[in-house]
Chains A and B, each alone.
Chain A
Amino acid sequence: MTETAVIGLLVATVQFATLIYLAALGELIVERSGVLNLGVEGMMAMGAVSGFIMALATDSPWIGFAFAALVGMAVAGIHAVVSVVMGAGQVVSGLAVTIGGLGLAAFIGQDAVRERADAVFTDMSIAPLADIAWIGPILFDQPPVVYLAVVLGGAVWFVLNRTRLGLALRAVGESASTTDSVGHSVTLLRSGAVLVGGAFAGAAGSFLSLYMAAGWTEGLIAGRGWIAVALVIFGAWRPGRLAAGSLLFGFTLALQPRVQTFDLEILGLQVNTISPALLGILPFLLTVVVLIAISFRARHRPNPAPAALTIPYRREER
């Protein structure tokens, strides 16, 4: 295995990690407010196609990226109205967003398929750091969205833990009636969270079409939205652990297409005989392991999942 191959694997790891981290960070905000949005896959698809088309039209990947966030937000708005404002089942509503979003994205993107965009993100090397051996190309010669994801991770942590808004958001995800009783609007907090989560998912989707794949095809998202949903659980609903988890999941995603080219033996196992399909299961397998670990630990301390997750709130019901 060559040095270039290893660096290539790790560069891709960081990019896949960024992709699912952005989407998962949005879903984390949503779930901390007590709403489950299973529409991530659909919102990412809508973001990917609309961001791509907008970048084609404007020649600017940034305008495409921002537009993707707006479209993600608009799609999430459906979930906000149905599940938060009207209090319908979150699981059904979220699944509808995924199915509808994937279908609509395929329809909108018919003409954009295989069109190569000139306006895609390019790598942005951070001058002195990018020259460091190994670390430089992996961490400091990446597209700007990678750096943005790091900044957003810190910002989400700060808002959640150091602001009044974050306190209210954490509280509404644990007990909506408590939050209502102290005068915060449950509907406003939760709808806001769902919309922001949609923006993150839409933006994440466009990172695929505006950089990683640099184009749009139907099926582009390929289950990464679901990995993001699993990642929120894996990261125990915390931005920091989410980052660590995204690198691990990102690694399995990056390894998947490359594994059969690696002529390497680890513990008597020939790496290139591992099936990429089996690697694809790994994030979900790890998530199940974490869920089991959580339930064992939950005997001694509260479950890290927001207590009000998936429970709609109506004031009259005491």
Chain B
Amino acid sequence: MIEFHLDGRSGVAPYMQLIQQVRQAMRLGLLREGDRLPTIKDVVAKLTINPNTVLKAYRELEYEGLVTARPGVGTFIARTLNEEAAAVEPLREELRGWLRRARAAGLDPESIEALFATTFRAQLQESA
């Protein structure tokens, strides 16, 4: 089971935060196929948010094929997302190496973050 939280200062829409938290938990293996998501009523009562916000997040997750809604029963995780785990570790190693080189080149953590973020966004735009 996942426990949602909202970051009011992140600038990310609440429904998107819920989606990201489910995806993240799936990637980390905290949510696996067959696990049940909290009911809309429970999420709404815990976070004091509009029911449609949760509904929208769950619908989007369903559309992406990550969850299945069984009316009257609940919303369930439809698959396990750690197939990519094998690919993650070598990538993490490469990134670590890159970070070490950036530090060695004299960049401070903030500059490294900015460099990564701008390059990442530019790359996304190119491929879009």
Task: Please determine whether chains A and B interact with each other in the same assembly.
Answer: no
Task: Enumerate chain B interface residues (CB-CB to A < 8 A).
Answer: none
Task: Enumerate chain A interface residues (CB-CB to B < 8 A).
Answer: none
